[in-house]
Structure 1
């Protein structure tokens, strides 16, 4: 099996030749390849080349065209500064108060901000990998995008005050901002699919229950996640790809809601007990995770990584619908041998189809 067959077999719950392994290693791959971060988030060809070179060293089953978080919101008015070998920093936001939301418009992903950099990188990777390895596009989620437009602390405070005071006017503004952000994410993801992405995502870090309550998640994030996946699923009649939801933190209290979004893959953070997710929703969605990217992968040994990975496999691999990976993004300076050990371990493990348990 090649990686494309392996990953999509796991999504469908089929037996594969081994466990697919897909650490989220965008910026790690940039450094591993000898590029600087700013070279790649400003140049789609360099970003693609960096990811391809790192894939040749690591051999993971999914290659991701990812680096920073501001490529879409720059097209909506966020002003950033670029630094040598560092991620961009925000200099000014367009939404100083909620009534400024009326000025926002969804982006044209081919012209606004730096979305085109990532679309170009997806296209180059798809061409180089020739359909044998899935290409995962980035995709900042709607709630996280809204926070970038206003400032994270300011936006979270507005959410809390709006709910505490039952302020319908503020709620209207927030919902309007969520609609604009969701339309922007949909347009970007559709462009990535057309460029050759095999996996498109809604990565909504701010929707984490580490940041907001379950009630706020269900009101302000869940409906827009569902809308995103419904819209992207319409493209499946013409293109072959899968959809992915990533939310940081421990979201066990809304696990079944996450499966309700309609995503094909749920990327699970390291704070979550994989066995709980496997029991609750493992028959409805393919789980991806959940090695701690800032733990053993960053500062442990290869043997430490293998032991942690075996725990994840024992909890979630039975019955297929499991991809071994990191709970979030691999640290930029993680040792190459640790990421290689993760991939090698997974590729040495048998897979079992849905309905069968591993011995």
Structure 2
């Protein structure tokens, strides 16, 4: 059973005779049924229907329910700009003009924003496919969420106001913990902290002021008996070791990262790594055989324990 294969891999119990497969369909799920990104991210029935199509077409061992890093930001006061083919982007930042006390914001409740929609689909999908497929609950990581709230000034704060950065990161970690709580209660097997901006800051910044927030989140997920994953976008080669030190059960990386070399680092920390079929070349411009060849070539060059095959 695919779910068992994936969970055993994430728990370090895999014999590496088979590799788990986790496609991150995102709003592509809606494309499969002819729905726009906005439709699939605002209509629970359309999202559920699309996810069932993903399950049918791609036979995943694990799959995310929603891939939208703006759900938390929207609740916390950011205005969004919607697009037809992509998740929304953050248009305004509530703390852009003033470094306000992060605790002036209220932690999300299960009734806020689009959380009820997400929880509804999670429960329905768990009932429909949860016996044979591990389900991922994704939440916007504390660094990216902090930048949503503060805007570009956040990066100046990292140089000039490190104590404020730590306070904002701590609040955002509490947001992540609340989202993890709701998603675990809805039946999610794996909670993924998705933080694309990690690749845009130095490893010393992560070590000096950012890592406590991530450690706090992963400790909570572990305390609930769930499995954690740390998703990063872009070329995070120099950040992989610091990511491992925050204590996730797994890391998923982008196509820019040399998976073979990165796995040498994650293996030292007993962290599972996932990746990284290239999206912008092999998947977008290639055919089925190109994608199969990429995976076969990857398997020939890498150790097979603690490994998940996924798109970048």
Q: Same fold (TM over 0.5)?
A: yes
2:267 counterpart residue number: 282
> How far did residue 316 of structure 1 move?
3.0
> How far did residue 251 of structure 1 move?
2.7
Written as runs of structure 1 = structure 2, the 5 A alignment for 1:187-336 is 187-208=178-199, 211-236=200-225, 241-282=226-267, 284-318=270-304, 320-327=305-312
Bigger RCO of structures 1 and 2 (CA < 8 A, at least 6 apart): 1
Where 1:72 maps in the other structure, the secondary structure is: helix
Where 1:21 maps in the other structure, the secondary structure is: coil
- Which is worse superposed, 121-130 or 135-144? 121-130
164, 168, 178: which is aligned to 1:173? 164
2:174 counterpart residue number: 183
- Cα distance in 1 for residues equivalent to 2:85 and 2:259: 35
Contact 1:52 1:63 in 2 (8 A): no
Distance 1:249 1:86, change over 3 A: closer
1:352 counterpart residue number: none
- Unaligned runs of 5+ residues in structure 2 are none
Where 2:244 maps in the other structure, the secondary structure is: helix
TM-score, length of structure 2 as denominator length:
0.92
Contact 2:23 2:58 in 1 (8 A): no
- Cα distance in 1 for residues equivalent to 2:281 and 2:84: 26
Contact 1:265 1:285 in 2 (8 A): yes
Question: Structure 1 stretches (4+) deviating beyond 6 angstroms?
Answer: none
> How far did residue 317 of structure 1 move?
4.0
Per-residue CA distance 1:36-72 (angstroms, 9 max, x = gap): 2111211233222211112201112112112322111
Contact 1:291 1:312 in 2 (8 A): no
Contact 2:73 2:90 in 1 (8 A): no
Written as runs of structure 1 = structure 2, the 5 A alignment for 1:129-140 is 129-140=129-140
> How far did residue 81 of structure 1 move?
4.0
Distance 1:300 1:85, change over 3 A: closer
Per-residue CA distance 1:70-128 (angstroms, 9 max, x = gap): 11111111122445555324342211234223464242331222233222222221111
> How far did residue 183 of structure 1 move?
0.3
1:6 aligns with 2:9: no
Distance 1:87 1:255, change over 3 A: closer
Contact 1:106 1:183 in 2 (8 A): no
Across the aligned residues of Structure 1 and Structure 2, the Cα RMSD in angstroms comes to 2.0
Contact 2:75 2:113 in 1 (8 A): yes
Where 2:308 maps in the other structure, the secondary structure is: strand
2:27 counterpart residue number: 27
Distance 1:255 1:86, change over 3 A: closer
How many residues align structurally? 310
